[in-house]
Amino acid sequence: MAIDCLVLGAGQEVGKSCVVVTINGKRIMFDCGMHLGYVDHRRYPDFSRISASRDYNNALSCIIITHFHLDHIGALPYFTEICGYNGPIYMTYPTMALAPITLEDYRKVMVDRRGEAEQFTNDHIMECLKKVVPVDLKQTIQVDEDLQIRAYYAGHVLGAAMFYAKVGDAAMVYTGDYNMTPDRHLGAAQIDRMQLDLLITESTYATTIRDSKYAREREFLKAVHNCLASGGKVLIPTFALGRAQELCVLLDDYWERMNLKFPIYVSAGLTVQANMYYKMLISWTSQKVKETYTTRNAFDFKNVQKFDRSMIDAPGPCVLFATPGMISSGFSLEVFKRWAPSKLNLITLPGYCVAGTVGHKLMSGKPTKIDLDKDTQIDVQCQVHQLAFSPHTDSKGIMDLVKFLSPKHVILVHGEKPKMAVLKERIHSELGIPCHDPANNETVSISSTLSIKAEASSMFIQSCSTPNFKFLKRNLIDKIDPDLKDLSYKAVRTSNMLIRECSNPHFKHLNRNLDAKFDSSLSCGPELQVSDDRVNEGILVMENGKKTKALHQDELLLLLGEQEHEVRFAHCRPIYFGSLDEIHVKDSLSRKSLWLSQLSFKLSTELSDRNVQNLGEYLQVESITLSICSKENCPYRTTNRIENESTAMVFCCCSWLVADEILAWKIISILEKHDLGST
């Protein structure tokens, strides 16, 4: 069986996350996002690739949304209400509560302010969310008889979750966006250790390793304080849900400690509404926020107030949080146009910005002009400060998660192509896990676990219980680690040197005893090790209308009315046992027994890892038999010529199954190279 992953979005790019996974016949869409860098058809995933007939209800088992950011949920109302999907949709309770806020805010900006054609209405958003089934953390949801899903805490933003999905014995995890380190308002991602066929992980910061969180906070606070002290204004473009709350907590605490009076504003509406939800959903926040909740709600900011549009040109320094975070549209773009021409002002970009947005252009260098469209150019004279306050995990966090879960395969999404290639190579070389980084509209197929419940016949069980002895000869000293062996030797010799310094005869006697014991341990003879692995091969029989059963191979022959056929290879060659004078045993039976004993000793010495059995009439090594050949005209004999008439020569027949052909020729080579009489 295979798991097929069709990447419809976030393949070698950041934006419109959407991955359709087929796992043992069940088809799941993970996330349904839009690309904020486009305003044409490229903003949405190409849903036609899911079903050519556009029958999405039969094509998909369910949709899973990891969190409320637009690049993970922005296309959902369009897919359900315009494209017609009516199946189940799963997301956490906070995501369900906050999703309509972000979707409606986007709709208003794009339709009411930019005048674009309406992609979906407010009614579409409300109807879409009626199809949602909310889930709690670690709650196992049985989507249908075969498909099982479970959510795990992902950090990142309020309500973000990683999702585990299992069908039969095949299992996988889709991370969405996550953060492996806690911040001021959210905890770190948490997930159980599981056996997974596949992990699909974001890779936004595939090659970045962040420095200390406190160092980043100090740098941010210093930049803001210096700008305000110089009479400038600070614009912090950020998404209303997530980084706004994180940075408001940080600034509010700093203002209290430093007794600052500069106003801190948040754009009215969305951020204020979001803060209300954060107060209600305290159980999803960090441990510190939960612990202090009884005495003080961390989201009741003492120094933060609402901002009105009429205050854009008001004189005096201030800090303003405005949405959206990438300055792609909306109020943050409006404020940026007005504040960018002043050298006193500061634009602080605390997170990742998608290519094509104003934020990305500012992060790519220090432009003096930015072309917004063919008719609008923005004069940029302000200071630009980029800080890594992104809620995404860094390269170390991704590697830690992959190592912890140790899946059989990894697929990278939601990242930049060159950086993903570096991370892909690291995962493969350092962890030994096959890793893939498909582009949009590409499919990756990987093998999945398939277990079959089967009964076992009594004959098969009995064959598994039969002793399967293997013998291994090796010196005791070989079991000692070389470093420890050397250390032991030095320790004893050092002790002996100290003893020699003593004049007492008793010490000298003790010294000789220690030397003798140590030298004896180094030259100890071979130790016989015995292993007994009770395993056996059988045949799995699957018949229509009957239970699957494991049979012994002899049972299958009886079932089919057939006889056992075995193809064996044979070779007969001369072997030498020293001079004729050394052969004192006169009767042929005793001579044959002596020759087999000498042959057994030689092979046991040369093949210490094999079980050489002397069964009287012949020797047995795996499927290989060796016997003294008494036929004058053996069909397997290569020569009858005696090279040395003074040497006792006999012929030895060796036969084997094809599976042991390499071992058989190794044994023949041993017989060719050695005079067995010298043993």
**Amino acid at residue number 182:** P
d(CA 329, CA 70): 13
537 by DSSP, 3-state: which?
coil
Write the CB contacts of 591 (distance below 8 Å, at least 6 apart in sequence): 583, 585
Closest CA to 288 of 273, 299, 280: 299
8 A C-beta contact, residue 380 and residue 368: yes
- Sign of CA pseudo-dihedral 486, 487, 490, 495: negative
Which tokens hold the place of 579?
């001079």
b/e per residue 199-227 (b: at least 16 CB within 10 A): bbbbbbbbbbebeeeeeebeebbebbbeb
8 A C-beta contact, residue 677 and residue 576: yes
Neighbours of 98 (CB within 10 A): 27
Q: Which residues pair with 410 in a beta bridge?
A: 199, 435
d(CA 489, CA 495): 10
Closest CA to 297 of 248, 255, 232: 248
Neighbours of 562 (CB within 10 A): 9
Residue with tokens 């069709």: 6
Closest CA to 550 of 433, 463, 652, 449: 463
- Sign of CA pseudo-dihedral 360, 363, 364, 365: positive
Query: Residues in the chain, how many?
Result: 679
In the set 13, 202, 246, 555, the catalytic residue is 202
8 A C-beta contact, residue 89 and residue 76: yes
- Quick one: DSSP state of residue 111? I
8 A C-beta contact, residue 577 and residue 651: no
d(CA 238, CA 274): 13
Which tokens hold the place of 603?
């092979």
Which tokens hold the place of 671?
């017989």
Helix axes 505-522, 482-500, angle to 10 degrees: 160
Dihedral (C-alpha) 292, 295, 299, 304: value to the nearest 10 degrees? -130
118 part of the active site = no
Active site amino acids: 202
